[in-house]
Chain A
Amino acid sequence: MGGSGTSNALLPLTSPGHGSGLLDIFRSRYLLNLLVQKELKVRYRGSVLGILWSYVKPGMQFVVFYIALGVFLGLEQSPTNRSGMPNYAIYLFSGIALINFFTEALGNAARSVVGNSGLIQKIYLPRQLFPVASVWVSAVHFLPQVLILAFVCVLNGWRPGFLEIGVAVAAFVMVGLLATGLGLFFGAVNVYFRDAENFVDMLLLVATWASPVLYSWEMVHNKVGPTWFALYQLNPLTVAVESFHLAFWYPTTVETVALVPNLLSLWIPVGMAISLTVLILGQLVFRRLEGRFAQEL
């Protein structure tokens, strides 16, 4: 509560408009919570299916990819097609769910600062809240998809242990950090150059194909050789998708398929480190640029 005339003297003079970055998010978690709830309420307002849309859309995408790639292009293993992948549907869905989380999170985070210009121009509040809230909203849409995935896996004999769950959580955190870092970066740059959001759209188009979501990592390895493959692996999204495969898809197969070498010992730590670095850099750029948000919007 604010002070009265006498207790006022005890309060220190502070310089308004200087936040303390992501630390502010922690302090304003109630506001973050409300912003996320607002977004969830408002997103599908006036639509009959409401939040179901966030399942119908990826579901449709899944069906299209499954038929085109799994059936027509023969990636799915079947009695007539021995060279395909076993349980391709699970393989595909685990990757798509994770990539969609990233796509939705980054796409919305990049637009979040400009989208809340009315507020930013009039009231001071920690502006990092907006990109972070976007990522959070996407996480809320993502988690039920993981439950569906887990349910389907259980039907296919999935009995997860600590390893599987730990790897899945690591992949989720990796993607969340990456999306937040890039979201802070592009969200801030977008205030100055609206080109940023279009660039992000392009980036997201590439993201689905730049990781082994639709195809297997071995196809890449066989074509490009080990050196370029290491480069391919530096993308945290790639590592996260492979981790999801390890956690959900691999245990449902007879486990004769090959997994990416050194995923646990090398690539997950590397991916995590890269995501963290991106977050720190994104945060630095955001703080450099946020001082002029109110006047540039």
Chain B
Amino acid sequence: MTTNSIEIKDISKKFVLRHTRSLKEAFVWIMKGRKGDLSKKFYALDGITLDIATGESVALLGLNGSGKSTLLKHISGVMLPDTGSVATRGRVAGLIEVGAGFHPDLSGRDNVYLNGAILGMSKEEIDAAFDSIVAFSEIEEFIDTEVKFYSSGMYLRLAFSVAVHTDPDVFLIDEILAVGDEPFQKKCLAKIKELHAAGKTLIVVSHDLDVVAKVCDRGILMQQGHAVMDAPVAEVIAKLRS
């Protein structure tokens, strides 16, 4: 029997196209009996239903603005759906953006602790993993330098390293590998494959189709908030390339 790591049932999300921030406009709107919408809306996610089994490795593909990042944010809990429901099993770690939660004025060491705690680790867990985190990132010399002096690749190395050491059950990766140099990208890919082999659930968003083909089994094609195709990754890539 397979268990699902992620169960998404018919979720939709509307966003505001034009933000109204003036009290005057809001006042006029209320005075007119709240008729119509105060601002224009559109669906960023529209009726998505998706089950992802534990241990699956899924690629989310699609053009810019098709809703991939938005979907990941719903899985990580950053956003809540307007309708429908999302359920996840176990610890979810999102690498939505490199080094979110890093503070430029703190040293690499402090940031490892801060970011680890933000991703849900306890002090003991971080203490235990610290050496391994630094070793994986290969920036030992700079660990006590403030991260504002890091290059973007070094930033990525440390951030990625912390994230993989949170030992998540579900790992969300959004476009982050692009910044690293060739050897480190290889290392990350190897690590991702290792996580996959260990039975973790992966969701990868990337425009680098070659990378995606290497690490994912299943592909989901997003188009204007709809999941229009759900098939083995090679087929989705073929469709995207055609």
* Interface residues, chain A, with chain B CB atoms under 8 Å away: 1-6, 8-9, 11-18, 28, 30-31, 34-35, 38, 41-42, 45, 118-125, 193-195, 291-292, 294-295
Complex Cα–Cα for A121 and B101 (A) = 10
Q: Which residues between 169 and 207 of chain B lie within 8 Å of chain A, taking CB atoms?
A: 169, 198-200
Taking the complex as formed, is B226 at the interface, i.e. its CB lies under 8 A from any CB of chain A?
A: no
Query: Are the CB atoms of A8 and B91 closer together than 8 Å?
Result: no
Instruction: Provide the residues of chain A in CB contact with B94, threshold 8 Å.
Output: 122-124
* Interface residues, chain B, with chain A CB atoms under 8 Å away: 3-5, 7, 15, 21, 23, 54-55, 73-80, 85-92, 94, 96-97, 100-101, 103, 105-106, 110, 113-114, 117-120, 122-123, 125, 166-169, 198-200
* Residue in B75, B78, B198, B200 whose beta carbon sits within 8 Å of that of A122 in the complex: B78
Query: Are the CB atoms of B118 and A295 closer together than 8 Å?
Result: no
Query: Are the CB atoms of B100 and A9 closer together than 8 Å?
Result: no
Complex Cα–Cα for A29 and B100 (A) = 20
A selection of 11 A-B contacts at a CB cut-off of 8 Å is A1-B167, A2-B169, A4-B198, A8-B90, A11-B89, A16-B76, A17-B79, A18-B80, A119-B100, A125-B120, A291-B80
Instruction: Provide the residues of chain A in CB contact with B3, threshold 8 Å.
Output: 8-9
Query: Are the CB atoms of A5 and B54 closer together than 8 Å?
Result: yes
In the complex, how many angstroms separate the beta carbon of B107 from the nearest chain A beta carbon? Answer: 10
A38-B7 contact, Cβ under 8 Å, with A123-B94, A123-B100: no
A193-B23 contact, Cβ under 8 Å, with A5-B55, A11-B89, A123-B94: yes
Complex Cα–Cα for A231 and B95 (A) = 52
Query: Are the CB atoms of A124 and B78 closer together than 8 Å?
Result: yes
In the complex, how many angstroms separate the beta carbon of B178 from the nearest chain A beta carbon? Answer: 17
In the complex, how many angstroms separate the beta carbon of B208 from the nearest chain A beta carbon? Answer: 21
Instruction: Provide the residues of chain A in CB contact with B167, threshold 8 Å.
Output: 1-2
In the complex, how many angstroms separate the beta carbon of B40 from the nearest chain A beta carbon? Answer: 15
Query: Are the CB atoms of A8 and B78 closer together than 8 Å?
Result: no
Query: Are the CB atoms of B122 and A41 closer together than 8 Å?
Result: no
Instruction: Provide the residues of chain B in CB contact with A17, threshold 8 Å.
Output: 74, 76-80, 86
Complex Cα–Cα for A30 and B120 (A) = 10
Query: Are the CB atoms of B106 and A41 closer together than 8 Å?
Result: yes
Knowing that A12-B89, A28-B117, A120-B78 touch, tell me 16 more A-B residue pairs with CB under 8 angstroms: A1-B167, A2-B167, A4-B198, A8-B169, A11-B90, A15-B85, A15-B86, A17-B78, A31-B118, A34-B113, A41-B106, A121-B100, A122-B94, A124-B94, A291-B80, A294-B79
Query: Are the CB atoms of B23 and A195 closer together than 8 Å?
Result: yes
* Residue in B15, B76, B117 whose beta carbon sits within 8 Å of that of A30 in the complex: B117
Smallest CB gap from A194: residue in B:
B21
In the complex, how many angstroms separate the beta carbon of B24 from the nearest chain A beta carbon? Answer: 12
In the complex, how many angstroms separate the beta carbon of B64 from the nearest chain A beta carbon? Answer: 18
Query: Are the CB atoms of A193 and B117 closer together than 8 Å?
Result: no
A2-B168 contact, Cβ under 8 Å, with A11-B90, A13-B7, A30-B122: yes
Complex Cα–Cα for A225 and B167 (A) = 66
